[in-house]
A and B are shown apart, each in its own frame.
Chain A
């Protein structure tokens, strides 16, 4: 850790500005995400939530016209530093997308994809160890019992809820510290949403989770802290129940009361 204070936080941004070409999407964002809890981000469409999330693992850079200033520390380390290897950043920070995106290969290969990419190239990994990693990852996401008899079937044959759980499961063997989730339930039906929320709550503690959601009820019931963003700025950040019960800013209360969105 190059800075003790920063090491206590999973993600910390300082004066983060981001432009898509000429359009500024983030303005001076100072965000601190504490370790081991679930932080939700809410705000109307286009307010910069997803941009914020995608900046934290630098996936945003694949759009060539993105420019950032300011700094982002993950686990105390500047991810824009000179000696930073993107692969290492992304190993620490897993991401779950809005639409489940399992690869068109078997369930087993999906879960072991990252593991084979990283672990299995450093040392010999026995088949037994692979099976163990596979089972424990699928157990962690409450999917083992459903899929244990069809591990070699294509992952794209699963239901959306199962696919989304699988997408979470395949991050785990790489042992990330932070999970970023971009509206992970918005493609799911109510039962699927409930199941995935339950899973997210179960992963709390072992992982730091930053979740973007359009669903205020979800933010309210499934997060410890909540961040409200508007037009590229963070308006309010506090404990979820306080933010919902007694918001400090009028923009926040207007939004959570549904006056715009």
Chain B
């Protein structure tokens, strides 16, 4: 009575086929990641040493390490965050908690999405025009970081707005009904319950900012600076630009060095992503609704 009919068998065959196709697609997805990381570890791994990480390059970059680039990247990312996070979070708070749903708000939202889609080289040219030339900051960490900030702003806004909107409306209503103002509601209920999502978005932005090359190329990154940056008005080396330079401009650089730089860069990015994921898992565990 319960034996499979030919129709059952046919359905089952199709379902197995579908499953196999989806599985192959998933494998295809992770293969490039494994190949990239594997190549970098094998070919760049031997280059990694204390000296590599903590000394400046020597002899037209053919020897020495990457210290100025590492430090420069940290400066660029930190200054960019200092600029983009306050602006982005404030804008997201306005759009999510205050703005009425009207034509202006919808236009702003559309503009943010479009800003996120602008290619990074266009941001770079904007940075040159606006920060380096118009505001006369000159090619410097500040100009490069502001360019990075403009580029990351839409993502910060969107990530923040999504975490704000994930806070149940019922919490807000509960507050308003006890006579809380919008700001009191935001400070006591909305922000404490969305901060994990906001921070996750910010950390992901850090990893993206770390890897960007185009926006800093004309605005503040230099191929070679012998000293470490002392203020935001200095030019600086940066990991991503250093890699680009080694791979395309410099001559006689040992292959191992180039791969080593790439390995360090990808390690920073992956570490940032891992921190962000761990953080999100931890904070999600803390949530009680």
Contact = CB atoms under 8 A, between A and B. Distances in A.
Given A97-B170, A101-B171, A104-B171, A117 B178 contact: yes
A35 interface: no
Interface in B172-199: 173-181, 184, 188-189, 193
Contact of B179 (A64, A88, A101, A102): A88
A99 B170 contact: yes
Contacts of B102: 64
Nearest to A171: B178
B175 A64 contact: no
Contacts of A62: 176
A147 interface: no
B134 interface: no
Given A59-B177, A87-B179, A64 B287 contact: no
Contact of A101 (B101, B170, B181, B287): B170
B288 interface: yes
B288 A117 contact: no
Contact of B178 (A64, A99, A157, A170): A170
B50 interface: no
Nearest to B184: A117
B46 interface: no
Contacts of B171: 101, 103-104
Contacts of A79: none
Contacts of A154: 288
Contact of A167 (B101, B168, B174, B289): B174
A70 B174 CA distance: 27
A105 B185 CA distance: 13
A169 to B, nearest CB: 12
B254 interface: no
A103 B179 contact: no
Nearest to B174: A101
Nearest to A102: B174
A114 B176 contact: no
A113 B180 CA distance: 9
Interface of B: 100-102, 168, 170-171, 173-181, 184, 188-189, 193, 287-289
26 contacts: A59-B173, A59-B176, A59-B177, A65-B101, A87-B180, A88-B179, A90-B178, A90-B179, A91-B179, A94-B178, A99-B170, A101-B168, A101-B174, A102-B174, A103-B171, A103-B175, A103-B189, A104-B287, A113-B175, A113-B178, A114-B178, A117-B179, A117-B180, A156-B289, A171-B177, A171-B178
